[in-house]
Structure 1
Amino acid sequence: MSIGPVQLIVLGFPQPNFHGEIIAELERLRETDTVRVIDALAVHKGTDGEVEVAHLSNLTEDEAIELGSVVGALIGLGIDGEEGMQAGAEAGAMAAAEGGADVFSEEDAWNVLDEIPNGSAAALVLLEHTWAIPLRNAVAAAGGFRIGDGFISPLDLVAVGLVSAEEAAEMHAMETASVGSS
């Protein structure tokens, strides 16, 4: 299986009631072969910090079997609680050892769950950028390699004249709305 560049996006919500338009947009992107949702989790974090998890996905059954619960494994969270997390961690460590891969140390790990505010919800979506496979292959064929990547804040786009200050402020507010402001 050839897999494209993969990105984990964590989207915050004041309540764990995700709307159908998000799933519909992910389906549209899938139909156009722009992205594929490898895995997705809905996380509700109570005011006491207790975490509840539900699986979300638009994968076919065959894809789900092939890819497994990838987001949970990446962030160290199992659908089946601590037992599932332990089993996933052991399987991941074994697969990495067999493949000669280095795994993240605890110091390197991105603790996504800590970033979700208590009393809120999040959707953790692991996307494969299928559109980028030919570009990645062309870069590799030319001897190139990825140095870094990241999203650019709308506020930074004002400086280069791509958006107006008003547009940037609106986009920034949408992207960074806090749980308490809804």
Structure 2
Amino acid sequence: MAIGPVQLIVLGFRHPDFHGEVIAELERLRQTDTVRVIDALAVYKDAQGELEVEHLSNLTREEAVELGSKIGALIGLGIEGEAGMEAGAALGAAAADAEGGVAVFDDPQAWDVLGEIPNDSAAALLLIEHHWAVPLRDAIARAGGARLADGFISPFDLIGIGLVNAEEAKELHDLETAGA
């Protein structure tokens, strides 16, 4: 099965006020075949840092069964308990060996997703496959190219290249960071 580029997005909420709008937008993107939500979790962290996890999804039942809890396995959340975490680690190690020694993150490279969620807040963790990018990625590969790095650009950095003015950048920044 060919899979498009996959991205883990972590969205923070001080006091979540969900009305189904986020899931509805993800469903719209799914219907247009722009993205596929591979997995989605809501993580609540209390004032002492204890976690409560809830599965969110716009997957069909068949997709959910096929994919399982990929975010939990990816970030070591162990939603299936310690046995599930160990099973995920074993599968990852087997896949790395099968690929002929795939490089895995060492501690200095690790991204502590759960550590970045402030106490007494919530986060939505979305593992998204970018369907729209598959033809572009494949064309780049056929041309002998490869992704070296990627990242979202701050609205303030867009001022210097003339895409937005200072007022627009502040509005975008405030919109992007309002819940943080």
- The match for 1:64 is 64
Letter in 1 for 2:175: M
List per-residue Cα deviations over 1:91-133 (Å, max 9, x = no partner): 3223332333333223322110000000000000011000000
**Cα contact 1:16–1:43 (8 A) shared by 2:** no
User: How much has 1:81 moved relative to structure 2?
Assistant: 3.4
Distance 1:147 1:90 in 2: 28
User: How much has 1:178 moved relative to structure 2?
Assistant: 5.2
- The match for 1:41 is 41
C-alpha change, 1:146 and 1:80, in structure 2 (3 Å) is same
Structure 1 stretch 71-80 or stretch 100-109: which is displaced more? 100-109
Percent identity of the aligned residues? 69
User: Number of aligned pairs?
Assistant: 179
- The match for 1:93 is 93
Is residue 2:7 matched to residue 1:7?
Answer: yes
- The match for 2:164 is 163
Give the unaligned 5+ runs of structure 2: none
Structure 1 stretch 59-68 or stretch 36-45: which is displaced more? 59-68
Letter in 1 for 2:166: A
Is residue 2:99 matched to residue 1:108?
Answer: no
Distance 1:133 1:159 in 2: 31
Distance 1:83 1:173 in 2: 41
Distance 2:167 2:89 in 1: 46
What is the RMSD of the two structures over their aligned residues, measured on CA atoms? 1.6
Letter in 2 for 1:53: V
User: How much has 1:21 moved relative to structure 2?
Assistant: 0.3
Is residue 2:151 matched to residue 1:150?
Answer: yes
Structure 1 stretch 106-115 or stretch 76-85: which is displaced more? 76-85
TM-score by length of 2: 0.92
- The match for 1:32 is 32
Distance 2:98 2:140 in 1: 28
User: How much has 1:161 moved relative to structure 2?
Assistant: 1.4
TM-score by length of 1: 0.91
SS in 1 for 2:108: coil
List per-residue Cα deviations over 1:155-178 (Å, max 9, x = no partner): 111111111211110111121235
Distance 1:65 1:112 in 2: 24
Give the unaligned 5+ runs of structure 1: none
Letter in 2 for 1:50: E
Distance 1:80 1:15 in 2: 27
**Cα contact 1:44–1:122 (8 A) shared by 2:** yes
